[in-house]
Chain A
Amino acid sequence: MSTVSGRTDSKAALPGAATRRSGPMLRWLGTRGPREFVLRWVVLFALFIGWELAAKAAESPYFPPPSEFAARAAELWLPADGTWLTEATANDVLPSLARMFGGLALGSLVAVVLGVAIGLSRRLGDYVDPLIQFSRAIPPPALIPIFLVLFDRGALMRVLLIAFGAMWPVLLNTIEGVRSVDVIKYETASIFRIGFADKLVRIVLPGAAQKVFAGLRTSLALGLILMVISEMVASTGGIGFHIVQAQRSFQILDMWAGILLLGVLGYLLNLVLTVVERRVLAWHRTTNREIA
């Protein structure tokens, strides 16, 4: 399935993807040492400084300097005055994250279960492949009107939209991962009379895990996108709502602060996934080193 490899390759374009190669985690924000740290971050800092200077010179009300909206973001969402949870965090960030994680968890679970079934059964794969190719080609935001009709405007509708939209990379990668497990590994298990459940848990899932994580990485990015989009429509809370609302009420600083928050969240979530992946796939790094 060439489409699958296309999807997995796209992970390289996501921020933090390169940290997969790094040594001690997080010591240098995911880089190998001070030298790489500087190389990695210097461009970003330079960009912000340039932006800062340009914005200050232009004095446009729509393009405030990054330092100002960063300060506004800190004021809105960083813990202060002895409380961990600011009002804005409780109203916007937490509901957003809850919906996104709910949607991602649901979508990934369904995708892994379906992916294993389809990956194991060629016949099932042949039956559902056109359906999958068609469904995943629909841009999920286009489904918002239908989802609104079906599930009303509550959290459920947003969770389901995220689940539906973000499940495809996990599904396609799981299918491919399961199909890539060597037949000799199953035959070895058959020789030792290992039952189906054990084969599933100890051969199929670990064998497909690397691909599943590649899918999760893409799904995470999609989940964040769908979270924001779903909150920009018929909503009363969440980060997406915050951004739209700020723009409509000419609180430009708040709007930019929201965008910054999304960038930071996306980066951090990807970092967390990277750490989890490294732990789960610790064995895989040993296998890449060819010594035989």
Chain B
Amino acid sequence: MLTANHLSHTYGSGAGAHAALADIDFTVEQGELVSIVGPSGCGKTTLLRTLSGLMRPTGGSVTFHGDEIVEVPTGLAMVFQDYSRSLYPWLTVEDNVRFPLRRLHLPKEELRSRIDEALAAVGLTGHAAKYPGQLSGGMQQRVAIARALAYRPEILLMDEPFASIDAQTREDLEDLVLEVKQRFSMTIIFVTHDIDESVYLADRVVVLSKPPTRVVTILDVPLPGERDQISTKELPEFIRLRGEVARLIRHPRDAQEPVAAAAG
């Protein structure tokens, strides 16, 4: 569905050039949740900006349904890390959710039902008339998720969406993501620095290296579809995977050889 082909990006040129992305290859299939995890400063912002079409990469390409992305395609939405920067504080919760739908020219009833459904899905029914500034951080990020849901994207990119949210709220929101994925059979790319989160949510985990960033490896997550914050994280398979991801992030060189061989 969405493929990165030898994606690379270098900022600037000459001596001051900074190679953020060296060579990124992966494919996300329909209905999959792929998490992307890597050490801090691993160029994940650059990666998301090129994947979404906000920015053209300096090398390689991103294709969506086989077509190269040159601008933000229809059917793609993104939830940004910093909800306070991405929500519009002068619009009510409902109007924030409605904002992206303006250009779709939906019939009135459908507009209404999409907004209501999206707010209900994130548990914000009854908060529609409030302004984002009246909500807690966790609730604001729910608004951002509802906004993306009402847009009904085929693929949803999430940029460390829960990085600045307290641990318990974070677990609730992780389960919300899984629920939404099931219910709307949505394809999701979830970027995070949290290793537990990357394994808990994903069907596959893409592990990135330090810049110039490459894909260290891609791990399958053979955990059961129904996940639970407590019991899933107690499974030996979960513990094995999180250990493996952690080792790959800390010592990518040990793992790089076999991956390079497999790719070649």
- A contact set with B: CB distance below 8 Å: 182, 184-185, 187-195, 198, 202-203, 206-207, 209, 283-284, 286-289, 291-292
The answer to whether B88 touches A203 (Cβ under 8 A) is yes
Which one of A191, A192, A193, A283 lies within 8 Å of B89 (CB-CB)?
A: A283
* Complex CA distance for A198 and B103, rounded to whole angstroms: 9
Closest 7 CB pairs of A and B: A287-B133, A192-B100, A292-B137, A286-B133, A184-B85, A206-B90, A286-B131
The answer to whether B99 touches A286 (Cβ under 8 A) is no
Instruction: Report B-chain residues with C-beta under 8 Å of the C-beta of A209.
Output: 90
Most buried by B among A206, A209, A283: A283
* Complex CA distance for A291 and B132, rounded to whole angstroms: 11
The answer to whether B90 touches A291 (Cβ under 8 A) is no
Most buried by B among A182, A187, A189, A284: A187
The answer to whether B102 touches A283 (Cβ under 8 A) is no
The answer to whether B88 touches A288 (Cβ under 8 A) is no
Instruction: Report B-chain residues with C-beta under 8 Å of the C-beta of A185.
Output: 85-86, 88
Which one of B72, B85, B89 lies within 8 Å of A287 (CB-CB)?
A: B89
* Complex CA distance for A134 and B130, rounded to whole angstroms: 45
Within 114-151 of B, Cβ neighbours of A (below 8 Å) are at 130-137, 140, 151
A203 CB to closest chain B CB (Å) equals: 7
Assign chain B's interface to a size class: 20 to 34
Q: What are 27 A-B contacts with C-beta separation under 8 Å?
A: A184-B82, A185-B85, A187-B54, A188-B80, A189-B99, A190-B54, A191-B54, A191-B72, A191-B76, A191-B77, A192-B103, A192-B151, A193-B72, A194-B100, A202-B99, A207-B90, A283-B133, A286-B89, A286-B134, A287-B89, A287-B133, A288-B133, A289-B133, A291-B134, A291-B136, A292-B136, A292-B140
Contacts A188-B80, A292-B140 given: A193-B103 contact, CB under 8 Å?
Answer: yes
Contacts A202-B88, A283-B90, A286-B133 given: A191-B78 contact, CB under 8 Å?
Answer: yes
* Complex CA distance for A203 and B76, rounded to whole angstroms: 21
Instruction: Report A-chain residues with C-beta under 8 Å of the C-beta of B82.
Output: 184
The answer to whether B151 touches A292 (Cβ under 8 A) is no
Contacts A184-B80, A286-B134 given: A194-B89 contact, CB under 8 Å?
Answer: no
Instruction: Report A-chain residues with C-beta under 8 Å of the C-beta of B78.
Output: 188, 191
The answer to whether B77 touches A192 (Cβ under 8 A) is yes
* Complex CA distance for A182 and B100, rounded to whole angstroms: 18
The answer to whether A184 touches B132 (Cβ under 8 A) is no
Instruction: Report B-chain residues with C-beta under 8 Å of the C-beta of A192.
Output: 77, 99-100, 103, 151
* Complex CA distance for A26 and B86, rounded to whole angstroms: 36
Which one of A187, A206, A292 lies within 8 Å of B88 (CB-CB)?
A: A206
* Complex CA distance for A76 and B137, rounded to whole angstroms: 58
Which one of A182, A194, A283 lies within 8 Å of B103 (CB-CB)?
A: A194
Given contacts A194-B102, A207-B90, 19 further A-B contacts (CB under 8 A): A185-B85, A185-B86, A187-B54, A188-B86, A191-B78, A192-B100, A193-B103, A194-B99, A194-B100, A194-B103, A195-B103, A202-B91, A203-B88, A283-B90, A284-B89, A286-B132, A288-B133, A292-B135, A292-B137
Instruction: Report B-chain residues with C-beta under 8 Å of the C-beta of A193.
Output: 72, 74, 100, 103
* Complex CA distance for A181 and B54, rounded to whole angstroms: 18
Q: Name the residue of chain B whose CB is nearest to the CB of A191.
A: B78
* Complex CA distance for A292 and B82, rounded to whole angstroms: 12
Instruction: Report B-chain residues with C-beta under 8 Å of the C-beta of A288.
Output: 133
B170 CB to closest chain A CB (Å) equals: 14
Instruction: Report A-chain residues with C-beta under 8 Å of the C-beta of B54.
Output: 187, 190-191
Q: Does B213 contact A (CB under 8 A)?
A: no
Instruction: Report A-chain residues with C-beta under 8 Å of the C-beta of B151.
Output: 192
* Complex CA distance for A291 and B140, rounded to whole angstroms: 11
* Complex CA distance for A194 and B71, rounded to whole angstroms: 12
* Complex CA distance for A200 and B135, rounded to whole angstroms: 26
A191 CB to closest chain B CB (Å) equals: 5
* Complex CA distance for A53 and B53, rounded to whole angstroms: 76
B58-84: CB near A (< 8 Å → 1, else 0) gives 000000000000001010111010101
* Complex CA distance for A283 and B135, rounded to whole angstroms: 12
A283 CB to closest chain B CB (Å) equals: 5
A281 CB to closest chain B CB (Å) equals: 8
Instruction: Report A-chain residues with C-beta under 8 Å of the C-beta of B100.
Output: 192-194
Most buried by A among B89, B100, B133: B133
* Complex CA distance for A74 and B64, rounded to whole angstroms: 75
B239 CB to closest chain A CB (Å) equals: 33
Instruction: Report B-chain residues with C-beta under 8 Å of the C-beta of A206.
Output: 88, 90-91
* Complex CA distance for A70 and B77, rounded to whole angstroms: 65
The answer to whether A184 touches B86 (Cβ under 8 A) is yes
Q: Does B192 contact A (CB under 8 A)?
A: no
Instruction: Report B-chain residues with C-beta under 8 Å of the C-beta of A203.
Output: 88
Instruction: Report A-chain residues with C-beta under 8 Å of the C-beta of B135.
Output: 291-292
Q: Does B209 contact A (CB under 8 A)?
A: no
Q: Does B3 contact A (CB under 8 A)?
A: no
* Complex CA distance for A122 and B135, rounded to whole angstroms: 34
The answer to whether B131 touches A287 (Cβ under 8 A) is yes
A211 CB to closest chain B CB (Å) equals: 13
Q: Name the residue of chain A whose CB is nearest to the CB of B165.
A: A292
* Complex CA distance for A209 and B78, rounded to whole angstroms: 27
